[in-house]
Structure 1
Amino acid sequence: MAYTKSKAENSKSSSSGVVEKRVWFYSLLLTVQYGAQPLISKRCIGRDVIVTSSVLACEIVKVICALLLMAKDGTLNKAFKEWTLIGSLRASGLPAAIYALQNSLLQISYRNLDSLTFSMLNQTKLIFTALFTFIILRQKQSIQQIGALFILILAAVLLSIGEGSRKDYGSDNPDEIVLYGIIPVLIASVLSGLASALCQWASQVKKHSSYLMTVEMSIVGSLCLLASTYKSPDGEAMRQHGFFYGWTLLTTIPVFVNAVGGILVGLVTSYAGGVRKGFVIVSALLVTALLQFVLDGKPPSLFCLVALPLVMTSISIYQKYPYRVKKKEA
């Protein structure tokens, strides 16, 4: 009996180790993708390219890649047979709608805030992600992990100062700054945390495939985007000049890279949760600074150099001190 129990525990430990290695691999890939995406987009997407066309193309590629991956691992037929509209809307519809609203709020906020203030306020989504993960999934954080989150936010603020201080634009009217700048970005941060927790709930509790969620959310997001083109400047431009106006072969590179990033986000959220994704996003800012130095010869700012050990420390603390349930004394 003891041998059987020991064997089961070893098997469980081995499985947990494989999952953890997979999480680190996906997180590393996502960090590199997030960090490289701004530089790739800047070099490959011309100013004439209609933004909505590149976003829609990315969503289409994301759906195709997710379906191919599902076919490869043999889950496509099963997912197709078990798929229901109600189940899909319950798992992916709400997060997709929330993300669509969040993106609209961020666009409004970015126009009315200087980039430094915007970047710093946008980092509050890490706190809301941890909060909603606790409310929805009852996933608690240890005291050390909460401290690690605040260290990470401090690092994100420093990185935002280093990058954001290079640009300074926004509204000069104090009322507009609060109403159309600060309030929208804070609401967007709350929505981001909620959507991330809902995605984690669907994948970990309801066992909804991360690939299937990617497909569903991309389709819902694309429908919302298409609806917005009815009276938007981008919609008018596409009707006048065509969907691929301004495109070159280079334009397809960031579209594919971004699509891969979208799939990786789903995998990281599914296996590790939304809080871990927050660590990836902040770490990616360091990758961007490094690539700027390598490719453009632009040295990292002092803020970036200070933030680097903070990010490494926060990640180390968060992994080393997970929340543990206290055993009741007999």
Structure 2
Amino acid sequence: MAPNKSTQSSQPMNGRVLFYSLLLTLQYGAQPLISKRFTRREVIVTSSVLTCEIAKVMCALFFMVKEGSLRRAYKEWTLVGALTASGLPAAIYALQNSLLQISYRNLDSLTFSILNQTKIFFTAIFTYFILRQKQSIQQIGALFLLIVAAVLLSIGEGSSKGSTGGHADQTLFYGIIPVLVASVLSGLASALCQWASQVKKHSSYLMTIEMSIVGCLCLLASTLKSPDGEAIRQYGFFYAWTPLTLVPVISNALGGILVGLVTSYAGGVRKGFVVVSALLVTALLQFLFEGKPPSMYCLVALPIVVSSISIYQKYPYQIKIKKKES
């Protein structure tokens, strides 16, 4: 018996999804190490984030031209529709990216990656309030495990570096707190993007372009009064940059494109696989390139995070259908 057309058409799509997922796994797992290794501490955060957003726009435009969707998107695009779909999420993501850049520099790579997974918990909360998506009992338990791991890491980071009070404070206020606030913002922005994609039917590339442009405008406006803006005016936009600084910028930009593609083609289940795999990639790369094995707190928290994400993806909420009596 010959395979039906739907089976044949699904095979290339599954291969594409697998390819995007593998790329995103490598990018997501390696990004903390790449940023830490190739970005000097003196680099102005706003300049790095702005350059990354510009790179996202260029990448998205390139892919839209390649697939032939740019002309159609241009004809259908409206300013009101773009601001409605992408304005608020873009502003949120711009602030989130700035916080992540700060956190990268003050936490070890694996701790950062695990704490960053708390965004799943906040995404679940905001999707419930915005989209009314309910969670199963198993998913609620998994989210609780995730928070336990985050608290464990927070306590562990503070106590392990508690011998020097100033250094512990720097880890808390410039490492742990920024990444947790960024997770809250990520959850809110993800829920808003999901709502926009269901209502506006935007392509992932167009959404990336709109959000990056709005995010750039918000960041440029913030430079009028922010310390980063003062530093840019005093030292220049590319102060302390080297050619290698472009490596994490381009990697982060491609990661933003891949997130949209994986979510668009595969949804949350495959993205959960990416998140779990990326944690393992981060731990392996940190050991290989930094020669530093994971701390005891990370070793305890890592299986908790992996288990919680796996349970959350495996036991989705099931809508109960009442049988009508004949």
Aligned counterparts, 1:46-125, within 5 A:
46-101=40-95, 125=119
Q: Which moved more, 1:45-54 or 1:265-274?
A: 265-274
- Could you report, residue by residue, the CA deviation over 1:265-297 in whole angstroms, capped at 9, with x for unpaired residues? 333444555797677557644432321111111
Size of the aligned set, in residue pairs, is 312
Secondary structure at the counterpart of residue 247 of structure 2: helix
Aligned counterparts, 1:279-318, within 5 A:
280=274, 284-318=278-312
Residues 122 and 186 in structure 1, CA contact (< 8 A), matched pair in contact too: yes
Tell me the residue number matched to 1:214.
208
1:43 to 24, 37, 43: 37
From the superposition, tell whether residues 109 and 43 of structure 1 become closer, same or farther in structure 2 (CA, over 3 Å): closer
1:229 to 223, 231, 246: 223
Residues 272 and 310 in structure 2, CA contact (< 8 A), matched pair in contact too: no
- TM-score between the two structures when normalised by the length of structure 2: 0.77
From the superposition, tell whether residues 318 and 231 of structure 1 become closer, same or farther in structure 2 (CA, over 3 Å): closer
From the superposition, tell whether residues 154 and 31 of structure 1 become closer, same or farther in structure 2 (CA, over 3 Å): farther
Secondary structure at the counterpart of residue 231 of structure 1: coil
Residues 210 and 270 in structure 1, CA contact (< 8 A), matched pair in contact too: yes
Q: 2-side partners of 1:190 and 1:46: how far apart? A: 27
Residues 152 and 310 in structure 1, CA contact (< 8 A), matched pair in contact too: yes
Secondary structure at the counterpart of residue 201 of structure 2: coil
Tell me the residue number matched to 1:138.
132
Secondary structure at the counterpart of residue 293 of structure 2: coil
CA displacement at 1:229 relative to structure 2: 1.6
CA displacement at 1:170 relative to structure 2: 2.9
Tell me the residue number matched to 1:170.
169
1:243 to 218, 232, 237: 237
Q: 2-side partners of 1:219 and 1:126: how far apart? A: 26
From the superposition, tell whether residues 161 and 46 of structure 1 become closer, same or farther in structure 2 (CA, over 3 Å): same
From the superposition, tell whether residues 187 and 282 of structure 1 become closer, same or farther in structure 2 (CA, over 3 Å): same
From the superposition, tell whether residues 105 and 68 of structure 1 become closer, same or farther in structure 2 (CA, over 3 Å): closer
- Could you report, residue by residue, the CA deviation over 1:48-81 in whole angstroms, capped at 9, with x for unpaired residues? 4332222111111110001111112221111111
From the superposition, tell whether residues 201 and 36 of structure 1 become closer, same or farther in structure 2 (CA, over 3 Å): same
Residues 119 and 164 in structure 1, CA contact (< 8 A), matched pair in contact too: no
CA displacement at 1:323 relative to structure 2: 2.4
Q: 1-side partners of 2:56 and 2:68: how far apart? A: 18
Residues 119 and 157 in structure 1, CA contact (< 8 A), matched pair in contact too: no
1:265 to 259, 262, 283: 259
Q: 1-side partners of 2:144 and 2:69: how far apart? A: 39
Tell me the residue number matched to 2:164.
none
- Could you report, residue by residue, the CA deviation over 1:84-116 in whole angstroms, capped at 9, with x for unpaired residues? 001000100011123345567889999xxxxxx
- TM-score between the two structures when normalised by the length of structure 1: 0.76
CA displacement at 1:144 relative to structure 2: 2.1
From the superposition, tell whether residues 281 and 120 of structure 1 become closer, same or farther in structure 2 (CA, over 3 Å): closer
From the superposition, tell whether residues 32 and 150 of structure 1 become closer, same or farther in structure 2 (CA, over 3 Å): farther
Q: 2-side partners of 1:59 and 1:135: how far apart? A: 29
Letter in 2 for 1:234: D
Letter in 2 for 1:88: A
Tell me the residue number matched to 2:187.
193
CA displacement at 1:207 relative to structure 2: 1.4
5+ unaligned residues in a row in structure 2: which ranges?
Answer: 105-110, 162-166
Secondary structure at the counterpart of residue 244 of structure 1: coil
Tell me the residue number matched to 2:108.
none
From the superposition, tell whether residues 209 and 135 of structure 1 become closer, same or farther in structure 2 (CA, over 3 Å): same
- Could you report, residue by residue, the CA deviation over 1:187-242 in whole angstroms, capped at 9, with x for unpaired residues? 76544322110111222443111111111111111111111222333323333333
Q: 2-side partners of 1:34 and 1:326: how far apart? A: 36
1:325 correspondence with 2:324: no
CA displacement at 1:23 relative to structure 2: 5.2
Secondary structure at the counterpart of residue 169 of structure 1: helix
